[in-house]
Amino acid sequence: MTGTPPRTPAAGRFRVLAEIITERLAPDETRPALRAIASQLREAARHLLVAPCSSVTPVQASVARYEAEEIGGKHSATGLPADFTAYAIAPLRSLPLPFPGRLDPVGVAFAQRERDIAHALHLAHEDIQRQAEDTTAWLREVFQLWHSHSQLSEAVRVDNARPCNQP
């Protein structure tokens, strides 16, 4: 087999995700969760790089990935999608990349912003060439879109709960 083994790009993506998550602006109470997630992602990258070539996805890397997603799931303030590590393992498996659920905002401006974010995320997911050639910038763009979606989600939740927006 020639070329780079798929585990090497996956390990690189795990490291980039750890960097992105560590840099994320978050409330003080969320910082420990973000550091723990980043630590698990770095651990997954390390296991991908040191495991024997016969193993497609080493168990230790899978466990670290699972732990990172578990921590993220317990701390919704991180703003990460539930299956955010799918972006890292894309070189290893043909799994669909995460996509946000509908927010169903009452306000027209929020609805347009939701469409804009969803469209941009869809375009980023479809840009296979950029994923391969400029992975770091691509991941940063994708996670900025997820961050924007998370912020919009909170704004929509507040706006939809206003008495004037109730049926």
Average pLDDT, the chain: 90
Which tens digit of pLDDT belongs to each residue from 78-126?
889 989 999 999 878 877 899 999 999 999 999 999 999 999 999 999 9
Give the residue from 152, 150, 10 showing the smallest Cα distance to 78: 150
Indicate the residue type of 2.
T
Tokens coding 47: 């296991």
The two structure tokens encoding residue 62: 């899978």
* Ranges of the chain whose pLDDT falls below 70: 1-6, 52-57
Is the pTM above the cut of 0.85? yes
